[in-house]
Amino acid sequence: MLQIEIPNEISSKLSIKGVSKHFRSGGRDVHALDHVSLEVSDGEFVCLVGPSGCGKSTLLNIIAGLEQADEGQVLSDGTPIVQPGRDRMMLFQEPALFPWLDVLANVLFSLRLKPGLARKERLEVAKFYLKLVGLEKFEDAFIHELSGGMKQRVALARALAPNPRVLLMDEPFAALDALTREQLYGDLQNIWQKRKKTIIFVTHNVREAACLGDRVVLFSPHPGRIREQFKVDLPRPRDINSVELARYSTTITAALKNRTLEETKETE
């Protein structure tokens, strides 16, 4: 049982309107996103899937406010996003935890930057989230003492602690072993149901997307566009190894393969 109840922020609705982005890479112009539009309702779990170079991570960075769109805009509850904000927290493939701080201080890092919290409150909140991710016994540990899965849990606690409305996840489980990953799928779904957030989750892994997402958005590269969307109507918590889920991921993988085939034909 959680001893204290931290009030949860209402999750926000995201509108991505005609977003385009070019950048130069290796002397070539890359058309990362081409007029991408997407509506995400509040509390929805959306997975973005596609091959490398389809612009899904770029879109995530634009929503985070870390990059600017060349054209179009992203609205969070009607307000345009121009810079990073505590209402949108991000998880990266590498946990990006600070090795000079212990686990608790890492979670406190994001809270110290949030105004209006007394020292005692910050400590309570940090411990609450460490407990939520199941690491309350490790608050004094240093980062190098944790396993890969534990590190991502701490990163999740750190991202949840300032109580964001949106959680942006950029392949957070890609570097973990299969067993740890499966466990984290369960935990993430649990946490998402307890602390309802709008989640945008970028991945290469179709099965992972089908397991986690209410909706799977398929991207195609060069230029980055949305090709197809799939609603995943399965009860939660979902098991990555279930037969129903396999059916969804087969359909999505087939669509992904067809697109890739068509594109190679087009370019030939």
Partner 1 sequence: MKRTIKVMLFFAGLVAVWQAFYFAHVWSRVLLPSPLSVGRYLWGAALDGTLGSAIVVTLKRLLLGYAAGLALGLPLGLLTARFNLLNDTLGLLALGLQTLPSVCWVPLALLWFGQTEMAMLFVVVMGTLWSVIIATDNGVRNISPTFARAAKTMGSRGLHTWLKVILPAALPFIVTGMKQGWAFAWRSLMAAEIYVTILSGFGLGSLLNDGRELNAMDQVIGIMLVLLFIGLIADKILFSPWERFLRRRWGTAI
Q: How far is the CB of 173 from partner 1 (least distance, A)?
A: 16
Three-state SS sequence of 199-212: EEEEECCHHHHHHH
Considering only 96, 246, 254, 261, the residue that binds partner 1 (CB under 8 A) is 96
Give the full edge-to-edge strand order of the sheet including 28-40.
Answer: 28-40, 14-25, 71-76, 79-80
Considering only 71, 121, 140, 145, the residue that binds partner 1 (CB under 8 A) is 145
23 binds partner 1 (CB under 8 A): no
62 binds partner 1 (CB under 8 A): no
| Cα–Cα distance measured from residue 32 to residue 37, given in angstroms and rounded to the nearest whole number | 14
Q: Which is nearer to partner 1, 21 or 88 (CB)?
A: 88
94 binds partner 1 (CB under 8 A): yes
| Cα–Cα distance measured from residue 87 to residue 23, given in angstroms and rounded to the nearest whole number | 27
153 binds partner 1 (CB under 8 A): no
Q: Which is nearer to partner 1, 160 or 240 (CB)?
A: 160
Q: Which is nearer to partner 1, 158 or 181 (CB)?
A: 158
162 binds partner 1 (CB under 8 A): yes
Q: How far is the CB of 175 from partner 1 (least distance, A)?
A: 12
DSSP per-residue letters across 180-237: HHHHHHHHHHHHHHHS--EEEEEES-HHHHHHH-SEEEEEETTTTEEEEEEE----SS
| Cα–Cα distance measured from residue 162 to residue 242, given in angstroms and rounded to the nearest whole number | 34
Considering only 85, 149, 186, 237, the residue that binds partner 1 (CB under 8 A) is 85
122 binds partner 1 (CB under 8 A): no
User: Which 63-82 residues touch partner 1, going by CB under 8 A?
Assistant: 64-66
Contact 33, 55 (CB under 8 A): yes
- Pairing relation of β-strands 215-220 and 225-231? antiparallel
114 binds partner 1 (CB under 8 A): yes
Considering only 23, 98, 177, 246, the residue that binds partner 1 (CB under 8 A) is 98
130 contact partners, CB below 8 Å, separation of at least 6: 103, 104, 107, 136, 138, 139, 154, 157
> Is 70 in a helix, a strand, or coil?
coil
Q: How far is the CB of 215 from partner 1 (least distance, A)?
A: 24
Q: Footprint of partner 1 on this chain (CB under 8 A)? A: 64-66, 84-86, 88-90, 92, 94, 96, 98-100, 109-110, 113-114, 142-145, 158, 162
